[in-house]
Amino acid sequence: MTAANMHHGSLDGEPPQRAQLFDWINASWTTQAIRSACVLQLPDWLARGASSADEAAAGLGCDAPALARLLRALATLGLCAEDDAGRHALTATGALLCEDHPQSLRAWALMAGGPQWQRWGELDQSVRTGCSHRRRHGGSDGFDDLATDPAAAEQFYRAMVEMTRSIAGAVVQAMNATGARCVVDVGGGRGELLAQVLAAHPSLRGVLFDLPQGLAGADAVLAQHGVAARCRCMAGSFFETVPEGDVQLLKSVLHNWDDARAVQILARCRDALAPVGRVLIVERLVADRIGRTPQDRDVARSDLNMLVALSGRERRRSEFAALCAAAGLALTGEAHATGAWHVLQARAA
């Protein structure tokens, strides 16, 4: 093996494409190594100070040799590092798995390696039938199960805050709030995006609208951003009615649903839109020509995730235009936010 191909984990004479394929095939180990570290609270333990595997194992109730192996595996990913005395320290990247890190990805790691894991394990069945894991196992596509499972709801809504936090700044920059007085975040979850919008526009008021289980925990997010006094939380279903406002914000909502239900949501937004108001759809856009960029992969991953988990899908710009038209809206503008994320603006047709 040469130094160069050792670095990429490929064998002498092996084409790099084969090594890349081998990596993709084995990608599951990273999901589970990271999830396990989070379940075991390993990052939070190491955040208190560098620790030997024995100390960490004693503190976390683990088998010491096995934990040493997990630590080594995490070190290969740059999430922790071992010094000459055999003590393991958290790196800056590993610190992103701590519960209280402002940019934490802990809940996302627990979700990807937990509930999503089982669904992806039956992707072939979802492709064969076109139905989500939930539907094939007797459930219905939607968020009802979270109403009766507080632990799953806590994990899901936290994960959404984490994911939305990383793109909210770019969305705030991309969205047009000119002349707006009241922004309704429809299916806004715990309100991470709305809170950042309100923080950036001190004259705006907000309404955070979601199912009751989505709003639990929203007060803390709004308070953290110092906008609680300008934001009202309202529980309800966007298939029935949506609070009135001159901006209706829909982030990562339409992609959860099939076309018929996405049109229903848009139609309820249109009903509640002030005369000069606009609906802002924040979603990843499927490129007209599919490529191999990280953005293409992010959209493809999310699209398949919608297939295995719900009835939804990622869509092209033209497909959003068709949904809007069916709901009495017309696309009137578009801005790029970051990666594959765009803000599409629609007004009453």
Ligand X SMILES: C[S@@+](CC[C@H](N)C(=O)[O-])C[C@H]1O[C@@H](n2cnc3c(N)ncnc32)[C@H](O)[C@@H]1O
Which stretches of 85-181 are assigned E, i.e. beta strand?
Answer: 87-90
| 237 is a site residue for ligand X (CB under 6 A) | yes
Interaction with ligand X in 175-214: which residues (CB under 6 A)? 187-189, 192-193, 210-211, 214
251 binds ligand X per the rule CB under 6 A: yes
Q: Does 239 bind ligand X (CB under 6 A)?
A: yes
Least spacing, CB of residue 122 vs ligand X, in Å:
21
For ligand X, what does the binding mask look like between residues 118 and 157, x meaning CB under 6 A? -------------------------x--------------
Binding to ligand X by residue 311, rule CB under 6 A? no
Integer Cα distance of 271 and 192 in angstroms:
25
Report the amino acid identity of residue 156: F
Interface region with ligand X, contact rule CB under 6 A, candidates 249-257, 273-281, 293-301, 337-345: 249-257
Q: Which of 213, 203, 95 minimizes the C-alpha distance to 155?
A: 213
Q: How many residues bind ligand X (CB under 6 A)?
A: 18
**Residue 250 · residue 189 · CB < 8 Å:** no
Region of 15-23, 99-107, 111-119, 233-241 interacting with ligand X (CB under 6 A): 233-241
Least distance to ligand X from the beta carbon of 189, Å? 3
Q: Return the bridge partners of 232, or none.
A: 207
Sequence-ordered strand ranges (E) for 188-340 = 205-210, 231-235, 245-251, 273-284, 329-338
- Which class for 304: exposed (0-12), middle (13-18), buried (19 or more C-beta within 10 A)? middle
Residue among 88 and 270 whose Cβ is closer to ligand X: 270
Which of 9, 14, 8, 87 minimizes the C-alpha distance to 45? 87
Residue closer to ligand X (CB basis): 53 or 107: 107
Query: Residue 238 CB, nearest distance to ligand X (Å)?
Result: 4
**Which strand (E) or helix (H) includes residue 34?**
helix 28-39
Give the shortest CB-235-to-ligand X separation in angstroms: 8
3-state secondary structure of 98: coil
Give DSSP secondary structure letters for 203-220: T-EEEEEE-HHHHTTHHH
Is 255 one of the catalytic residues?
Answer: yes
Query: Which is nearer to ligand X, 29 or 239 (by Cβ)?
Result: 239
CA 315/CA 202 separation, integer angstroms: 33
- Cβ-based nearer residue to ligand X, 79 or 160: 160
Q: Catalytic one among 88, 255, 336, 342?
A: 255
Q: How far apart are CA 119 and CA 333, in angstroms?
A: 36
Cβ-closest position to ligand X: 187
166 lies in the binding site for ligand X (CB under 6 A)? no
Residues found near ligand X in the complex (CB under 6 A) = 143, 160, 164, 187-189, 192-193, 210-211, 214, 237-239, 251-253, 256
- Catalytic site residues? 255
